[in-house]
Amino acid sequence: MSCLKATHLIKKQHVRQSAQDIPFLCAFSFPEKSVSAVLAKGHKDRPSGFFYNVISFIQLAKTLKVKRRIGEMIKGRFEGKTAVITGAAQGMGEAIARRFAAEGGRALIVDIEVDKLEAVAASIGEAVVPMEVDVRRSDSVAAMAEKARELYGKVDILFSNAGILDYAPFLETTEEMYDDIMNTNAKGVFLCGKAIAQLMVDTGTKGCIVNTSSINSKIVAATTSAYSASKGAVRQLTRVMAVDLAPYGIRVNAFAPGSVKTRMTEKTRANKEKTAYFQSMWCIKRSAEPEEEAAVALFLASDDASYMTGETVCVDGGWHIV
Inter-residue contact 264 to 222 (CB < 8 Å): no
Please provide the distance, in angstroms rounded to a whole number, between the alpha carbons at the two ends of the chain. 37
Inter-residue contact 192 to 141 (CB < 8 Å): yes
CA distance 176 to 181: 9
Pick the catalytic residue from 227, 248, 277, 307: 227
Inter-residue contact 211 to 237 (CB < 8 Å): yes
DSSP 163: -
CA distance 250 to 243: 9
**Residue 262: what residue type?**
T
Residue 223 CA neighbour count, 13 Å, CB half: 6
Strand positions, DSSP E, the chain: 82-86, 106-111, 128-132, 157-160, 208-212, 251-257, 312-315
Q: Among 141, 136, 77, 137, which residue's Cα sits nearest to residue 108?
A: 141
Q: What is the Cα 37 distance to its own chain's centre?
A: 27
CA distance 318 to 284: 7
Q: Cβ-count burial of 168 within 10 angstroms (0-12 exposed, 13-18 middle, 19+ buried)?
A: middle
* φ/ψ of residue 132, rounded to 5: -75, 120
Is 307 labeled as catalytic in the residue annotation? no
Ordered DSSP codes for 151-187: HHSS-SEEEE-------B-GGG--HHHHHHHHIIIII
Which residues are designated catalytic? Answer: 227
